[in-house]
Chain A
C-alpha cells in the first residue's frame, strides 16, 4: 500500500487551495496539494468580474462589511465578514506583489470598478479575466516555491477517526485515486488536511460551473461528521447561454441590453416584475422573471428568453463588451451583433458548505476547509459579486497558516455542536440518508461500523492505522465497481437527479416540488446501489471517477433540498411559494445538517450579527 506523507495536505488547487498551500509553506510546513485537475485547470480561472477590497481613500472595510451583511440578507456571521473585509486589502495587494496583471489607472495604480450591491467602486479586476489572472499568479508562486502537487489524483475520502461525536474526531489524511495509473493510495497529513474542492454546480443540469465541480469535498466532510451549513442557499445567474451554461456578464444589461420574451415584449416592465429597475433588478428577481415567462408559455422555444444588445451599436459593443461577442459566437453559435442572444438562469454559486470558523477550522481536529466548499459564513443567504475571490485568498491563507501550526487568534464562531444551537425538524415524504448498510461498498461512504470501519476492536486506532483502513475501504469500493459487470450506469442516475433539482429546487421552490425531489433522490440512491462501471481500464478511467462523483452529487442534492424544505421563509436566494416574507423572528439562524452515519439530522445555530464594534441590525430588503 502506497502512503505519501506530509505535514499538511491540501485537497484542491483552485484559488483557495493554492493560497492555503503557500501560507502553510511560509509557516515552515512540508505541504503537498492533491488535486483531480492540474492546478491551472481549476474553475477559479473562469471568474471574470473581480475582487472586492477597500483600498482607496473614501472607502473602508467597515463599509465593505456593511454592504456584505446587507447583501447576505443578515445570514452571514459578522466575525467572518469582518475578517474578510479587514484582510482583503492586504491579500489583494499581496497578489499585486506576486505580479498579478491587474487593470491599471493612468497613475499606475490598480483600477477598481463598481459592482452590484456595493456602496463604493471597490472591485479590483484584471480585464474580464480576473479569475484566470489570479489562478495563474498563484500557481506561479507554487512553482517558484517548489510545492509538490499530486495532480490528476481524485480524493475519495477523508481518513477520520470514529469517536461517537464528530467534535472528538481527528483527521489524519486522505485517500486518493490516481486517475492516470488507477492506484489507490493514502496521503498522511501529520498536521492537517485542508479541503478546497470548490463549487457543486453539477448538482443541477444547467450551471456556470465546470464539469469537475461536483462538490466532492463538501460531501466527504459531511460523511466524516462535519456539519454542513446553509445548503439551501444557491445563487442562480439570470443570464447564461442555454447550451453550455456559459455566463453572460451583468455588464450587458448594465450597458443597456434588453430582455425580450417570445412575443418581443420587454417583460421586466410589461409584466411588472421590476417596474423601476427593469433589466437592472437583482439577479434573483431577473432569474425568476425569466422562468415565469417560460412557464407561462412566453419563452423562446419554451426554454429561454432573448437578451438583445444590437441597439447599442457595433462600436460601443466592441469597445465595452467584446468578450461577450466571442462567448456568444463560440459557445452558442450566435453573433450578438446580428441577433439577440438566448439566455436563461443557471446555477452559479453555493453559499453554503462545510461549517468552519473564521480560521477555516472545522469541528474535527486537523480538518480545515476554505473557498467555495466552505461556509464560515461570509455570504449568508446571498453572495455579492466580487466577494468570492477575496474569500479564497483570505480564508485559504488563514487555514494554511493554522494547519501548519502558525499563530492565529482564537475563533469567535463556534463549530460542531458546541455553543448555542437548537434541534430542527422537517417533514419528509421518504427517509433521507443512506439507503441501508448494504450499500456501504458501492458508497464507500464509511458507514463506519458497517463496512469494517475503524473501531477500537479492529485496529490500534493510530493515525497510520486509521489511514490504512480508509485506503482499504476505498480500494474495496473501486474493485467492487470495476468487477461488477451489470447494473445501472452513473450517467443516468446523475442526469435524473440533475433534472429533478433544476425542475424543483431552482429559483422557485414549492413544498410539493421539494418533496418530489426528495423522492427522486431516494430513488436515485436506490439505483446507485446497483451502479457499475463499464470501462474496465485502470488507465484514465473517467467512467469510474464520474461514478464516484455522482455519489457526492446525490448527498448534496439531498442536503440542498432538505434545507430548502425546512426553511419556511423567503430570504436572499431562497424563495418559497408558501412563505413570501423574510421572517426574522424565527429564521435568523443557520441551517445545519449532520450526516450521523447515514441518518441526517437537522439543527440550527443562531446567526452572529455582533461585529467588533457594532451590531448589524437587519434592514428591510427592497427590490
Chain B
C-alpha cells in the first residue's frame, strides 16, 4: 500500500489531469487497476527495449513489410513498415513475421498455420518473387527483406489476399476422381501400376498456395485463364490410369476450352516458383500433346 501512496504523490506533481484524478480518491479497484497498468506498461516497455537492444546489438534482419487495412485510419493508404528482427539461426521469413507481430505490432496480419510448407497458407512476394514464408530462410535473402502480398490478387489486409478466384479456377476442372468401373466389393481395390502412380506423383503434391497463378503473366492478363495449378489438377486425374479412357477424353475436353492449356506460352515462371517443385510447364505441355493426339484420333 505504501508504494501506492508514493506513486500517487509523485504523479501529483506531474500533470494536472492526473493530479485531479488522484484528489478524487480512487476506489481500491481503480487503484489496483492503475497499478497493474503501470506495471504492465513498464514491462511492455522493457520488453520492447530489450527486443530493440537485441536487434541493434546482434545480427538483426531488416524487414520492409507491406501494410494496408481498408478501414483503419492511417492504414487505408498502402505503406511499408520497417521491422528489425533479431536473427537466430534457422529463422525463416515466417518466423520473422511472427516475431514482429508478437513483439512490435499485433495488428500485422498474414495467413499461416503449419509452418512446414504443407498447408499452403503463406505464399508471399518476398524480394520480388513468390515464396512460402515458412520455407524461406532469411539467410538466403538480401536486406532489407521486402515482404508483400501476392501480386495480381486483391489485398484484403496487409499480406492477406482474396483467394476466391484461385479456388474457383481450381474447382472448375472437376477436381475429383471419377471412373465408370469401380470394383464391386467394398474391400476390393482398384489396381494401379507403381509406374502410373509415379507418373502422377508430382502433380498430387499441390498445396493450393497460389504462387504459380500469381507469377503467371497470362493469368494476369486473362482473368478466365484456368492457370497452372488448375491445369495441373486436371493432369493429375487425366493421367491416372484408374479413371479409364472415357474419362480421360472428358478431361481433355475441359482443358482444351478457350481459356485452357492453349493459353500457356511456356514461360516457366510457375515452375520456377512452385514450392513443391511440381514441373507445371511440363505437365501443361504434355496435356497439349495428349489433346492433339486424341483430336487426331477422333478426326
Chain A positions near chain B (C-beta within 8 angstroms): 37-38, 40-43, 45-46, 55, 89-90, 93-94, 96-99, 101-110, 127, 129, 132-133, 136-137, 140-141, 143-144, 180, 210-212, 241-246, 327, 330-334, 486-489, 491, 495, 530, 533-543
Contacts and interface: CB of A to CB of B under 8 A. Distances in A.
B36 interface: yes
B175 A489 contact: no
21 contacts: A40-B120, A46-B116, A93-B188, A96-B189, A104-B197, A108-B194, A143-B175, A242-B90, A244-B134, A331-B92, A331-B115, A333-B89, A486-B37, A495-B102, A530-B33, A533-B106, A539-B69, A539-B156, A541-B109, A542-B110, A543-B107
Interface stretch (B7-15, B202-210, B284-292): B202-210
Given A93-B189, A330-B137, A245 B107 contact: no
Given A140-B175, A541-B109, 13 more contacts: A45-B114, A96-B190, A108-B192, A246-B115, A334-B90, A491-B106, A495-B102, A534-B107, A535-B109, A536-B72, A540-B109, A541-B107, A543-B107
Interface centre among A46, A487, A533 (most CB of B within 10 A): A46
Interface string B68-105: 01111000000000000000111110010000011000
B208 A331 contact: no
A91 B171 CA distance: 25
B277 to A, nearest CB: 9
Contact of A542 (B37, B109, B183): B109
B186 A93 contact: yes
User: Looking at chain B, what size class is its interface with the partner chain?
Assistant: 35 or more
Contact of B176 (A46, A140, A487): A140
Nearest to A107: B191
A330 B117 contact: yes
Would you list the 3 A-B pairs with minimal beta carbon distance, nearest first?
A99-B177, A108-B191, A535-B107
A243 B91 contact: yes
A101 B204 contact: yes
Interface centre among B92, B116, B135, B205 (most CB of A within 10 A): B116
Contacts of B237: 99
Contacts of A143: 171, 175-176
B116 A543 contact: no
Contact of B90 (A94, A141, A212, A243): A243
B116 A327 contact: yes
B88 A246 contact: no
B226 interface: no
The prevalent SS among residues of B at the interface is loop
Interface of B: 33, 36-37, 40, 69-72, 88-92, 95, 101-102, 106-107, 109-110, 112-121, 134-135, 137, 139, 156-158, 160, 163, 167, 171, 174-177, 182-183, 186-194, 197, 200-201, 204-205, 207-208, 237, 240, 242-243
Given A333-B137, A534-B106, A540-B109, A97 B190 contact: yes
A97 B197 contact: no
A180 B109 CA distance: 12
Interface centre among A55, A99, A212 (most CB of B within 10 A): A99
A140 B175 CA distance: 6
Given A211-B115, A244-B116, A89 B69 contact: no
Nearest to A330: B135
A495 to B, nearest CB: 8
Contact of B118 (A45, A144, A488, A534): A45
Contacts of B171: 143
Nearest to B193: A108
Nearest to A100: B177
A43 B194 contact: no
A93 B90 contact: no
B176 A94 contact: no
A133 B120 contact: no
A129 to B, nearest CB: 7
A40 B109 contact: no
A401 to B, nearest CB: 15
A104 B187 CA distance: 16
